[in-house]
Structure 1
């Protein structure tokens, strides 16, 4: 066990032998920290939270009451193999959220990037990969093996099907079931998710140049209404575009995936 002398640990907390607690960490009452947990500097774990498994928590992350971080996967094929959960810096894991470790068949690691916000009751399944600055609103469920790009926002009570990829900067409306891949910067809404346009508000907030936004809107229309199959249109766009943003969209479409795509209406 390695506990920094600068860490503050409530007397009722249980820190199991082998855990590593960094400088400036705060461990609240009735917290359980497992033997293979590593907390970087300045992590705060509030009352009644559980951090277990082979889990690393990045500097400055806060874990709120009753969150369960690093438990074994919800997968009947899991046979006790030693797999990991890695959470980045400055994340906020709110009350009742659950994050599971990976599985041997899925790469062995579940990963959450930096500066993410996982609101009350959110779930991150085994082998899922979340980028930086991802926001999961209340009760969002990310199934196993999903890939969520940087700056994605997923509205409350939404569910993401296993193996689905959501591209960078996309936004998913509340109470939406997403069963297929979502283009970077896409806007998805409806009970059975429909690709309904681009996340224009998010693009403008990030200061994306007007010429790139115009090119992306034209590309979206071509993907929706151009000649040939969806993949044919993406290939043609990739060859013709001069916009890095449009090329990011086409590269996403043309890369390997275990799911089909949500296509424009």
Structure 2
């Protein structure tokens, strides 16, 4: 399985946002989209998810134009987790995660649906919240519930837009490491917009670095996340250091700030 963007451009009204975006994401890969605010990460995620049709260019799934795929079939292929969630108050966590099974359901909930929900709740460590109302949860808990809903969908491709933004440090690490494990075990694929360069360096297989709506660099985390690239794209100084736990990026303000 492969998602491919071919010279994708995007705009809001007459304002260009993305320019000539071309890259691939293959089965078994976790692909990070990196870049400062306004670089086009969220817009690119929405374009790949077909929430925003490309202004020009194409998004292909195994060589087929994504916009030509039946919406129900596309829902089985792509699971999308946005930055901001819309939810119905006084809906339980169990029912919220069960919505992820909608592409597969006809008249009733099957044992297979319930098993997928149970597995997803456990993966995101929210089983104990199953009977709670979503509006009673903290922002971080809700974020994990909506990731669990996407896991229950069992798509081939996960599109996550800054899924760790409301999570504390421990749950950031747990969530991204869990998703990396799932992608590698199931031979699925994840494209994830991130701000944390160290999460990308540690848990992803490919990095697409955006600057002003264009691809600045694309390759392995070690190839892309260099001191020069961090300075050029983010405008800050950085050092890549290594210890017994791996490589890390230390960033700090340049002397003229």
TM-score normalised by length of structure 2: 0.26
Higher helix share: 2
Report the structure number with the largest CA radius of gyration: 1
Which protein has greater RCO, CA pairs closer than 8 Å, 6+ apart?
2
TM-score normalised by length of structure 1: 0.25
